[in-house]
Amino acid sequence: MGLFKDGSGDKPQEKFIVKRCPECHINLPVDATRCHSCKSRVGRVDRHGKARKVINWYSYLICIVAWGVFIFYLKWAFF
Ligand SMILES: [Zn+2]
C-alpha cells in the first residue's frame, strides 16, 4: 500500500495463449475452465504459464465441519 506499481506482470493472462494443467501438465487453451484430459477444473493462468488450481470450497467446508464435530465429540466424551 502506498507503493506505485510499474504495471508489469499485472495481467499475466494476456501473455499466454496456452496454460498447463496443474494436475496432468498438458497444454490447455488459456481460457479453458476444465482440463479435457483429466477433467479437473483449472483456474486462470499464473505468471509461469501454469493454470491455477480451483479451490473446491464445498469440500473444504465439509472437512472443517467434520473436524469441528469430531473435536466437539472428543471434548464432550472425555472432559
Ligand atoms: Zn489435466
Domain boundaries, the chain: 12-78
What is the whole-number distance in angstroms between the Cα of residue 13 and the centre of ligand 1? 18
Question: What's the CA gap between 27 and 40, in Å, rounded?
Answer: 13
What is the whole-number distance in angstroms between the Cα of residue 42 and the centre of ligand 1? 8
Q: What is the pLDDT of residues 60-77, one digit of tens each?
A: 999 999 999 999 999 998
What is the whole-number distance in angstroms between the Cα of residue 41 and the centre of ligand 1? 8
Q: What is the pLDDT of residues 11-53, one digit of tens each?
A: 544 678 999 999 999 999 999 999 999 999 999 999 999 999 9
Say what the pTM is. 0.54
